[in-house]
A = this chain, B = another copy of it.
Amino acid sequence: MKQLEDKIRKEARIFPGNVLNVGSFLNQQIDVPFMMDMGKELARLYQDAKVNKILTVESSGIALAMAVACHMNAKLVFAKKKQTANMDDNVYSAKVYSYTHGLENRIVVSRAFLTPEDRVLIVDDFLAMGEALNGMIELCRQAHAAVAGCGIAIEKGFQPGGDALRKAGIRVESLAIIDRMTENELLFR
């Protein structure tokens, strides 16, 4: 999506350690009309995929997931992160390692909100190592829900998550894929 690439070039800040800060429009502060446009584009890409539910994980995926759900007439469900290992019989849960924060979270979703009748589009703001997406795919597997694919704003194409998912047969659509990133250079796929 050309407008997203332009916006990244214009507003993103790059820090050492492959950190891309897009807090001015994608998380923390959200450019709402632009977020709605991104949601519309992901909805268009998956228009024939018979999606009835959008799944994301708190909290930075929620705004994009809301925008996609608006344009797909789908319900939105967000998994919660719990650092505690508490298990509840009424939830599905999966482990997700956060490379950003250096800790393992458990993500959980109520069994009532993910069912074998669901055809799910998994949405998140970023894709790098693929930990969060794999966790959400695992939640869908436990629920016997079908995964139509993943819809992402920004994929770090120089990290292995996206390509590993594609090789595993999962459809992944990213609105911008960054193949090289240094403090002086941004190269999109």
A166-B145 Cα distance, complex, nearest whole Å: 46
Q: A59-B59, A113-B23 are in contact. Are A30 and B70 (CB under 8 A)?
A: no
B29/A113 in contact, CB under 8 A: yes
Complex interface: chain B residues within 8 A of A110 (CB)? 23, 28-29
Instruction: Please encode chain A, from 1 to 35, with 1 for each CB lying within 8 Å of some chain B CB and 0 for all others.
Output: 00000000000000000000001100011111101
A31-B69 Cα distance, complex, nearest whole Å: 9
Q: How far is the CB of A46 from chain B (nearest CB, A)?
A: 15
A66-B66 Cα distance, complex, nearest whole Å: 8
A92 interfacial contact with B, CB 8 Å: no
Instruction: Please encode chain A, from 105 to 122, with 1 for each CB lying within 8 Å of some chain B CB and 0 for all others.
Output: 000011011000000000
Majority secondary structure of chain A interface residues (helix, strand, loop or mixed): mixed
Q: A59-B62, A62-B62, A70-B36 are in contact. Are A78 and B28 (CB under 8 A)?
A: yes
A109/B28 in contact, CB under 8 A: yes
A1-B10 Cα distance, complex, nearest whole Å: 42
A70-B66 Cα distance, complex, nearest whole Å: 11
Complex interface: chain B residues within 8 A of A69 (CB)? 30, 32
Could you list some 15 contacts between A and B, CB below 8 A?
A24-B112, A28-B80, A29-B77, A29-B112, A30-B66, A30-B78, A31-B75, A32-B74, A35-B66, A58-B60, A59-B78, A59-B80, A62-B63, A62-B66, A66-B67
